[in-house]
Every structure is written in structure tokens, then in C-alpha cells.
């Protein structure tokens, strides 16, 4: 609902609409003219004792369509207006104005009432119009001019009453035209009186002036040159001369002017509808919200949210000069609304608060305030600091000092996931890539909230587009509250926390990958490994690289914490040379997945191969051997790599990821983690891969297994036996077994020769 819909004019007056029905307006322009008349009639209190309305259509000649005393109700009048047909003809504006002067306003007895003419035309009249318009205005008629299509504004200005800016409008903008015309009727009646005709401005609303532009389309004549043309002949010789050649083009012309309108305090101006809901005004005080799916249960589309995950969250808010005070207050308002929307008395989340510009100010330690009232007060107390937006410095400071919370018990440290929510609005004044990596390497998850234009920078900070929240305009920021809540709580459920898995990364470190791209592979392993709960009881991680030869950088049982894994991955060295993916997978099978290197029976195992596809021709058979032993194989191919070759390694389309560029690997971290997490939840075969060493045979028992050893002893045949077998039913050494098989063949051969000899004697 617009302000024009709220404006109503109830007074004693006669209103005569003069509609241009000529060919220059066209049928489309006439339809717009008729619609504008109907919108104006909706605002008028039409009755015999209040507002009387008449309609005249003109082209070559004027035609009285509706006389002033024909209809006494708005509904009947609107029905009749719909039946007025377009007539066509030339634009004889002067003629119709003379007609109005003579016959347009029959008297209302002895009473003198305001007389108003609303002329709807394109201003392209044929013939003199100034004299007729002047006589009409001098008779006390208030003349409004409403332009159609691309009007000739100069003519409309010359026809309308003064002040011109209050009496000339554009029919294309129906609401503006109705608003402006009723605003003018509420401020003055004619040049002879300063009193208003009717008070159409609602209570609590005001009339204001503003700069505007009136636009039209004009034909421009341009001289293009001259050509030789024939002008006739003199005697026997032709007469020629140079004739000009013109080009006609269309161009928009803008006329700056001042417009007038009534402005009311719209209840939707405060943006009461959240989460993308559309506010619909229903008067000056009432509104309704059209809510998107999932939010319709609340009148303001407010979500029924609760931050019910167990994490430590520190909100880091920008307070720089580039952000401006307005921007800073907007970020404060967003954070305050977020806390009010998602926090309750039983929320397990512990929250801290900091702001930054040149330096960082820690406003509230993690867990310092557990009550919503105190948290909101802490946000309200944030003061605009100005200075440069040194986001990189802030991230490094928060990593070191932001999560120093008190122990849960005397000897138990808080080991909850740590999350930094960066709320910013201007690009960083210092480098952010290294500080952000420094934070992520220390198992801090970063979620970024920023404008759309900063998406690339925020992606580099979070290290994962899934943790980046951007908004297209400031008024869309509050709609991001549910998304921010979901991303914070997804950290609590991220990766395979609590899921036991032995995870081996196999990185291609050959010359075809290159040293620079190898760094991207290391970053990918670091960002992925932090999504697993690395310790002796849950997740174990190993790293194998291959170039000239496969090398184990560290084994499954080498590191018992995520931070130790992150440091060790960074210390891996690029090899170069020609790589063989098949040799690397054989190394994993025979070396990395053995009990001696930390592989655990009863725990699912996954091998993740990162390669550019070069040297993968020999990998199909070793990969199949791994899969036959119950090991899941995932392949990430980077660059121009044949998907078929990757499929032969992974064995399933669901285990293959292709990435066009090494720089894009970070966008596929969550994809891989989801693949691995869903796959390692499958049932475990305790004998696959074989936990028995030195050719021992694994025998499944009820929820357990045992190893049958030959020449070795121990639970997994890990120790060479020092006792010689004394019983004949025990297995003999391999050398003796081979001799025994050879002796049996000799005995069989002798037996056959004996039979042949015996048969010969019988004959």
C-alpha cells in the first residue's frame, strides 16, 4: 500500500478530466490515461453534494463522454469510464480548452465551487493553445497537466496553473501522479486563493519537495552532408545544385525540476519482517509479513532458533574508519539481534566478544557472561574506535589470547570446538592469508560475515566457502541470522568427530605436480585433517608422499593430536622425479596399514589419493587389493585428468572428485569429509585388512579374531618363534615341506614303474 492509497479528498468541487484521444497518443497511451483517471477517482469523495466528476475526450473535435451531474457514486462512475473508447484524430488541444470554457462547468445554482481541469495529453497539440489556456485559468479554473508517453514538457508547463511544479505530473507513475495532485489540492486552490481545496494529507504525514527529472524522447535533425540534385532545366542544359542530406535520430531529453509529494512514516520502514520476509503496509500503523517457507509461524518471520550446540564462540567485530560509524552501528545491531534470537538461559554455548581496527580490544572473555542481558549490554557498550581495518593482526591476536577460558574442573581443560565469527564490512588493510592459516592450523574454525564484494577475501580467511556468509545489501544482513546459527552449530558436528577411523593421505609429490602446487596439497590435508578428532582412540592420520619413491612422512601412530598432525604435514618435503601411484599404494598396503605402523583392528580405514593423474596407469591392481581388504579408496584428481583412470583407482563414482585448479581444492574439503564420514560408518570385518603379520592367518571368532602363526608367535605373529616343533602334526619349515612334496612324486613314479613291471610278468 502506497501513500497515495491513503489519501482521500472530500470537498465540494467539480473535476473535469480532459483526455487526449488523438493518434499521437495512441491506443496504449489512451489506456494509461484512463487508468490514471480511475486511480484519481478512487481518492475522490464522489457524490452530488461533494465531488462531481466529468470526462471529455478530444482528438480532432471534443466529445463529452460523462457530464458532471451524470453519476453520484464512485463505483458507477468507474464502470462508465471503462467503457470510454479510443477515437483517434488530430491533437486539437486549443479547441477542447475553448469547449471547456464555454460548456464544461454548468453552474451549481448560486454556489461558487472550485473548478478543476485535469488535462491528460502528450503536449503535441496542433494549433494555438496558449490563449485558450490563459482564458480558462483567468476564469478561475485550476488547470493540471498530466503527461502521456513521451510528452512535450515545455507545452505542458505553459498550459498548467502556477506554480508549474505543483500542477504538472506524469501518467506513467500513477501513484506519484495521484500523490502529487492531491498534495497540491491540499495546499492551494488557485492563484486567487491560498486556502486548500481539500485536506487529503493523512494525519501524521507531511508534504515535501524533492528534486526530480522529467524525461521525454525527442527527434534530433542532423546534417550528414550534401549531394548533387536536379532542379530542372534551362533550355537544353539541366539545372543542378547541392542539396543537404539530413539524418533523424531519437534521443532522451531530461528536464530537471522540483516535485511535490506527501510522505508518511511507513511501518515497513523499520524492516520488521525478518529472514527475507516481505513487509506489506496496511495503513499508517499496521503491516503484515509474507514469510518464506519455514518461518510462517511468526508474524514477523522470526525463526524459532536456539544455539543448542557445545562450542566456544568469539565474535570479532570490525570498528575501522573505512567502515564508518553507520556501518559499525549496523554490525552492532546485527550481533545484538542474533544474540536475542538464538540465546536462552540453557544455551550451552560460551561466548566472547572483541572488536578491532589498528589493534584488538577483548571486550568479554569466553564464558565471562552467561546471561543474555549481560551479553547484550556488552554489545551495546562497544564504542566506535576508527583506524585501519587490520583483520590479519586481529586474527593472530585472537588465536593467541582469545580462548583462554577457565578449566571446567580443577584438572580438566575445556576442549570444545573453538569458533571465531568475523563480522566485517571493509577490506583488510593488512595481509590475511597467513594469519588465517595460523588460526586454522591451531584448530580454530573461522566463520566470516561480510558484504558480497568481499567474498574472495573472506573465503581466503575461512579457508572454506561453506563457512562464508555474504549479503548483497545492508538491509539483507538480518536475514542471515539462521544461516549464521547453522554454521556455528555445524562446527560441533563437523567432520567425523567421535568416529574411529585410520586415515592415510597419499600425496603426489612428483615433478608433474610441481613444488608450488604441492603446497596447495599440504594446505588441503591440513584443512581436512582438523575435521577429525585426532587421538589414539578415535582418528589416526598418516601421510605418504611419492615422487621418485614412496615415503611415509609419519605413520598412523606417530601423532596423537590434531595440532601435531598439522605441524608434521607442513614439514613434508617435495620430492620431484617421476611418480608411480601404484608403487605408493603398494607401500600403503604392505607398510602403512600394518599393525606395526599403528593400524588398528576393528577400525575402518580410508586412503585418500591426491594426484594430477600422471603415473596412475599402474595403480588399478594395488588399489583393487586395498579395496578387497576392506580399505576405502578416495581419489582427488587435479587439472586435466582422465576421470576413467581415477575411477579405476577408487572403484566407485562416489569416491572420485575432480578439481580444475589446485587453488580450488579448498572448495572441496567438506565434500571429501562427507564422503569419508558416510563411508567409514559401514560394518567392520576384523580380518580385513589382515591384522596378522608374517603370513599369519586371521580366524574370525565371536566379535573377535585370532592369528594362526607359522614360525612366529604373539597375538599378531609379530615375534619369531625360538622353539622347534616337537610334534609331527605341527607344520614343518617351508624347506622341509618342499622336500616332502618332491619325495612323494618320486614314490609315485616308482609305484607306477612297479605296476608296469608286474603287469609284464603276468602276461
Bridge partners (DSSP) listed for residue 419: 313, 445
Given a cut of 90, is residue 66 above it in pLDDT? yes
Average pLDDT over residues 541-555: 95
Q: Cβ of 152: how many Cβ atoms within 10 Å?
A: 17
pLDDT of amino acid 410: 40
pLDDT for 760 equals 61
Mean pLDDT of 321-345: 88
Rounded Cα gap, residues 459 and 103, in angstroms: 74
Mean pLDDT rounded to a whole number for the chain: 85
For 417-443, the pLDDT digits (tens) are 899 999 999 999 999 999 998 998 888
pLDDT one-digit tens code per residue, 516-531: 999 999 999 988 888 8
89 phi, psi to nearest 5 deg = 110, -175
Q: DSSP class of residue 193?
A: B
Residue 37: pLDDT band with limits 50, 70, 90: very high
Dihedral sign, Cα of residue 488, residue 493, residue 495, residue 497 = positive
Place of cell 572428485: 657
pLDDT band at 738; cut points 50, 70, 90: very low
Q: Considering only residues 23 and 268, tell me which one the structure prediction assigns the higher pLDDT.
A: 23
Q: In the numeric block, which cell numbers belong to residue 716?
A: 599378531
618, 515 in Cβ contact below 8 A? no
The answer to whether 62 touches 20, Cβ cutoff 8 Å, is no
Q: If 0-12 CB within 10 Å is exposed, 13-18 middle and 19+ buried, where does residue 7 land?
A: buried
Tens-place pLDDT, residues 195-240: 678 888 888 788 888 888 888 877 788 888 888 887 777 667 777 7
- Decide if 667 contacts 465 (C-beta within 8 A): yes
Condensed to tens digits (0 to 9), the pLDDT of residues 629-649 reads 889 999 999 988 888 889 999
End-to-end CA distance of the chain: 125
> In whole angstroms, what is the distance from residue 18 CA to residue 121 CA?
8
DSSP state of 83: T
DSSP 519-582: HHHHHHHHHHHTTS-BSSSSEEEEEEEESSSEEEEE-TTT--SHHHHHHHHHTPPP--S---HH
Ranges 370-374, 569-573, 740-744, most confident: 569-573
Q: What helix, strand, coil percent values describe the chain, rounded to 5?
A: 35, 25, 40
Pairing relationship of beta strands 501-508 and 539-546 according to DSSP bridges: parallel
Cα-based angle 672, 674, 677 (whole degrees, multiple of 5): 105
Q: What confidence category does residue 497 fall into, taking pLDDT thresholds of 50, 70 and 90?
A: low
Contact 704, 714 (CB under 8 A): no
Q: What is the 8-class DSSP label of residue 451? A: E
Please compute the mean of the pLDDT values over residues 115-137 and round it to a whole number.
91
Task: Give the pLDDT confidence of 671-686 residue by residue, as tens digits.
Answer: 788 788 888 878 888 8
pLDDT above 80: residue 408? no
Determine what percent of the chain is predicted with pLDDT higher than 90: 40
**pLDDT reported for residue 608:** 96
CA distances from 249 to 222, 226, 246, 253, 570 (A): 8, 18, 10, 13, 67
* pLDDT computed for residue 465 by the predictor: 75
Instruction: Return the half-sphere exposure (C-beta side, CA atoms, 13 A cut-off) of residue 21.
Output: 21
Which of 1-5, 68-72, 595-599, 707-711 is the least confident region?
Answer: 1-5
Q: Which residues contact 35 (CB under 8 A, 6 or more apart)?
A: 174
Residue 164 is classified by DSSP as G
* pLDDT range class, residue 405, cuts 50, 70, 90: low
- As a three-state string, the secondary structure of 262-309 is EECCCHHHHCCCCCCCEEEECCCCCEEEECCCCCCCCCCCCCCCCCCC
Distant-in-sequence, close-in-space partners of 685: CB < 8 Å, separation ≥ 6: 630, 700
pTM metric for this prediction? 0.43
CB atoms within 10 A of CB 719: 13
Domains in the chain, CATH or no CATH each: 3-216 (3.40.50.410), 218-255 (no CATH), 265-304 (2.10.25.10), 312-406+413-492 (3.40.50.410), 501-679 (3.40.50.410), 694-755 (no CATH)
- pLDDT, residue 193, reads 44
Tell me the average pLDDT across 500-515: 93
Q: How many residues does the chain have?
A: 763
* Least confidently predicted of 13-27, 352-366, 707-721, 749-763: 749-763
pLDDT at residue 739 in the model: 46
In order of 118, 225, 236, the CA distances from 230 in angstroms are: 52, 16, 14
Q: Compute CA distances 69 → 55, 78, 119, whole Å.
A: 11, 14, 19
Q: Pick the residue with more confidence: 271 or 715? A: 715
- Whose CA is closest to 212, among 252, 180, 190? 180
> Model confidence at 317, in pLDDT bands (50, 70, 90)?
very high
User: Using 50, 70 and 90 to split pLDDT, how confident is the model at 407?
Assistant: very low
Q: What is the pLDDT averaged over residues 161-178? A: 86
**Pairing mode, strands 312-318 and 418-423:** parallel
What confidence tens digit (pLDDT) does each residue in 378-391 have? 999 999 999 999 99
Tell me the three cell numbers of residue 61: 473535435
pLDDT over 50 at 320, yes or no: yes
Amino acid at each position: 500500500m502506497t501513500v497515495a492509497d491513503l489519501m482521500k479528498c472530500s470537498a465540494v468541487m467539480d473535476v473535469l478530466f480532459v483526455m487526449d484521444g488523438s493518434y499521437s497518443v495512441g491506443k496504449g497511451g489512451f489506456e494509461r490515461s484512463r487508468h490514471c483517471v480511475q486511480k484519481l477517482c478512487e481518492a475522490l469523495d464522489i457524490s452530488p453534494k461533494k465531488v462531481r466528476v466529468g470526462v471529455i475526450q478530444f482528438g480532432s473535435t471534443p466529445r463529452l463522454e460523462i457530464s458532471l451531474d451524470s453519476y453520484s457514486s464512485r463505483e458507477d462512475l468507474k464502470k462508465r469510464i471503462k467503457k470510454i473508447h479510443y477515437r483517434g484524430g488530430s491533437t486539437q488541444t486549443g479547441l477542447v480548452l475553448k469547449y471547456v470554457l464555454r460548456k464544461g462547468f454548468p453552474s451549481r445554482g448560486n454556489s461558487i465551487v472550485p473548478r478543476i481541469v485535469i488535462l491528460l495529453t502528450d503536449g503535441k497539440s496542433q494549433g494555438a493553445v496558449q490563449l485558450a489556456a490563459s482564458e480558462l485559468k483567468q476564469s478561475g479554473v485550476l488547470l493540471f497537466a498530466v503527461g502521456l508517453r513521451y510528452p512535450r514538457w515545455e507545452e505542458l508547463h505553459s498550459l498548467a496553473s502556477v506554480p508549474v511544479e505543483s500542477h504538472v505530473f506524469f501518467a506513467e507513475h500513477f501513484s506519484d501522479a495521484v500523490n502529487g495532485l492531491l498534495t497540491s489540492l491540499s495546499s492551494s486552490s488557485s492563484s486567487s486563493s491560498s486556502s486548500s481545496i481539500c485536506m487529503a494529507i493523512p494525519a501524521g504525514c507531511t508534504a515535501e519537495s524533492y528534486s526530480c527529472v522529467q524525461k521525454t524522447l525527442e527527434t534530433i535533425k542532423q546534417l550528414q552532408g550534401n549531394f548533387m540534385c536536379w532542379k530542372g532545366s534551362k533550355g537544353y542544359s539541366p539545372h543542378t545544385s547541392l542539396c543537404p542530406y539530413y539524418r533523424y535520430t531519437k534521443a532522451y531529453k531530461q528536464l530537471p525540476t522540483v516535485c511535490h509529494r506527501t510522505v508518511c512514516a511507513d511501518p515497513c520502514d523499520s524492516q520488521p519482517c525478518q529472514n527475507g520476509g516481505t513487509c506489506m503496509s496496511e495503513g499508517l500503523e499496521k503491516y503484515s509479513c509474507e514469510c518464506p517457507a519455514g518461518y510462517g509461524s511468526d508474524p514477523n518471520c522470526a525463526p524459532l532458533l536456539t544455539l543448542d550446540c557445545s562450542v566456544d564462540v568469539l565474535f570479532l567485530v570490525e570498528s575501522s574508519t573505512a567502515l564508518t560509524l553507520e556501518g559499525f552501528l549496523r554490525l552492532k545491531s546485527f550481533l545484538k539481534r542474533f544474540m536475542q534470537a538464538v540465546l536462552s538461559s540453557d544455551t550451552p554455548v560460551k561466548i566472547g566478544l572483541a572488536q578491532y581496527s589498528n589493534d584488538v580490544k577483548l571486550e568479554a572473555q569466553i564464558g565471562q557472561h552467561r546471561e543474555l542481558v549481560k551479553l547484550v549490554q556488552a554489545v551495546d557498550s562497544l564504542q566506535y574506535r576508527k583506524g585501519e581495518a587490520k583483520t590479519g593482526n586481529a586474527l593472530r591476536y585472537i588465536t593467541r589470547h582469545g580462548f583462554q577460558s577457565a578449566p571446567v574442573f580443577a584438572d580438566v581443560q575445556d576442549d570444545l570446538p573453538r569458533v571465531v565469527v568475523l563480522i566485517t564490512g571493509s577490506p583488510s588493510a593488512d595481509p590475511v592469508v597467513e594469519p588465517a592459516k595460523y588460526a586454522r592450523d591451531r584448530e580454530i574454525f573461522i566463520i566470516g560475515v561480510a558484504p558480497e564484494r568481499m567474498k574472495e577475501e573472506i573465503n581466503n580467511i575461512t579457508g572454506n566457502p561453506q563457512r562464508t556468509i555474504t549479503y548483497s545489501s545492508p538491509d539483507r544482513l538480518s536475514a542471515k541470522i539462521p544461516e549464521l546459527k547453522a554454521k556455528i552449530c555445524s562446527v560441533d558436528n563437523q567432520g567425523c568427530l567421535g568416529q574411529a577411523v585410520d586415515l592415510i593421505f597419499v600425496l603426489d609429490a612428483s615433478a608433474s605436480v610441481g613444488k608450488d602446487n604441492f603446497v596447495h596439497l599440504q594446505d588441503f590435508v591440513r584443512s581436512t585433517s582438523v575435521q577429525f578428532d585426532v587421538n589414539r582412540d578415535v582418528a589416526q592420520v598418516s601421510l605418504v608422499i611419492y615422487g621418485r619413491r614412496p615415503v611415509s612422512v609419519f605413520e598412523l601412530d606417530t601423532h596423537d593430536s590434531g595440532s601435531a598432525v598439522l605441524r608434521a604435514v607442513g614439514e613434508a618435503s617435495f620430492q620431484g622425479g617421476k611418480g608411480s601411484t601404484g608403487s605408493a599404494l603398494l607401500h600403503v598396503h604392505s607398510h602403512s596399514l600394518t599393525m606395526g605402523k599403528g593400524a588398528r583392528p576393528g577400525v575402518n580405514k580410508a586412503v585418500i589419493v591426491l594426484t594430477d593423474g600422471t603415473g596412475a596407469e599402474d595403480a588399478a591392481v594395488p588399489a583393487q587389493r586395498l579395496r578387497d581388504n576392506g580399505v576405502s579408496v578416495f581419489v582427488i584428481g587435479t587439472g586435466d585428468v582422465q576421470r576413467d583412470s581415477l575411477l579405476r583407482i577408487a572403484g566407485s563414482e562416489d569416491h572420485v572428485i575432480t578439481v580444475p585448479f589446485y587453488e580450488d581444492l579448498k572448495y572441496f574439503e567438506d565434500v571429501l569429509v562427507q564422503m569419508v564420514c558416510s563411508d567409514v560408518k559401514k560394518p567392520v570385518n576384523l580380518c580385513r585388512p589382515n591384522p596378522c603379520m608374517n603370513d599369519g592367518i586371521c580366524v574370525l571368532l565371536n566379535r573377535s579374531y585370532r592369528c594362526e602363526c607359522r614360525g612366529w608367535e604373539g597375538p599378531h605373529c609379530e615375534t619369531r618363534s625360538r622353539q622347534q616343533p616337537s610334534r609331527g602334526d605341527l607344520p614343518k619349515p617351508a624347506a622341509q615341506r618342499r622336500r616332502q612334496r618332491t619325495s612323494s612324486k618320486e614314490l609315485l613314479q616308482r609305484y607306477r614303474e612297479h605296476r608296469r613291471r608286474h603287469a609284464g610278468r603276468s602276461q
